[in-house]
Copies of this chain bind each other. A is one copy, B any other.
């Protein structure tokens, strides 16, 4: 079977596993008081070209997002995000839990990307200071979006600028940020703090790590809150050095971008091939390692027998995701599988 359900299903990259093994020597202070966690801060500052950035290793993307947001909004705030954002659709209300009852509010736009005019309109009609209305406090951008599309750096800067004008902070849900940075060919700084981002959920697990993500913070006040918020939510692991070692290895020598580039390239090849398959249609542009495909219900039904594991969105559409583990052979076989399924139905 060709695995295209999610990049979450992939294993741990050899370099990451090696980092875990290397970390397993001697004893070290618990809860982040170790040398490897200290080193992670340095790595993050270097990779993001930011002198005071701080990293908070956590073990899930939901933790990274909801903790980052809870440290950025008052309980009476509203987090603005695209209606398709993971924080609304797939985290069980984590942001409202950690945010003390803060709410999420959708701002729409094509390609699962927030439209600047709509953002302006939304913020322009707020009754600021009126406690009856949840007060927009954070703009959360998903990069890449849950539809696999990316903002350009100047688009992020535009949206962040509008948000800052109104006193909002800017968060990026970067569960697949490596795929976006690789696709954009820009520096990590360009799509984050240089574009106005205050705090980033830096994903690593989908791209080769073992339950390791990090909140990367460019605003000291957010960092100060996270010291407490991470601990009291159970997200300060005692053997943090094993998460820190992973994230540091991941960001070192471009490993994260190599792994992501590989995943992106497999998807680019696959998507190009699918365009020539009758009865199969790409529903969204393919910027990174995700594709959404429309096909007949019968064809969708036939996919498992054609050797393809993927996520069924509706009767007649599926989501495909490649990962750092997807091989060129997988892509060839997946294309053949789609052809069989489409023609069989």
Contacts and interface: CB of A to CB of B under 8 A. Distances in A.
Contacts of A211: 59, 211, 237-240, 242-243
A177 interface: no
A17 B239 CA distance: 14
Given A205-B239, A211-B237, A211-B243, A76 B232 contact: yes
Contact of A132 (B21, B90, B103): B90
A231 B131 contact: yes
Given A30-B8, A235-B234, A238-B60, A92 B132 contact: yes
Given A92-B76, A205-B239, A9 B29 contact: yes
A194 B233 CA distance: 30
Interface in A39-83: 58-64, 66-67, 74-76, 78
B100 A103 contact: no
Given A97-B75, A210-B242, A11 B29 contact: no
Contact of A234 (B67, B227, B239): B67
A94 interface: yes
Interface string A1-17: 00101101111100001
State the copy count for this chain: 4
A264 interface: no
A5 to B, nearest CB: 7
B9 A30 contact: yes
Interface residues of A, number: 75
Interface string A269-298: 000000000000000000000000000000
A234 B233 contact: yes
A226 to B, nearest CB: 9
A135 interface: yes
Interface of A: 3, 5-6, 8-12, 17, 20-21, 24-31, 58-64, 66-67, 74-76, 78, 89-94, 96-104, 129, 131-135, 205-206, 210-211, 225, 227-240, 242-243, 325
16 contacts: A9-B29, A12-B239, A17-B21, A60-B234, A60-B235, A63-B233, A64-B234, A75-B229, A94-B101, A96-B101, A131-B228, A131-B236, A205-B237, A205-B239, A211-B239, A211-B240
Given A94-B231, A97-B233, 4 more contacts: A8-B238, A92-B133, A98-B233, A205-B238
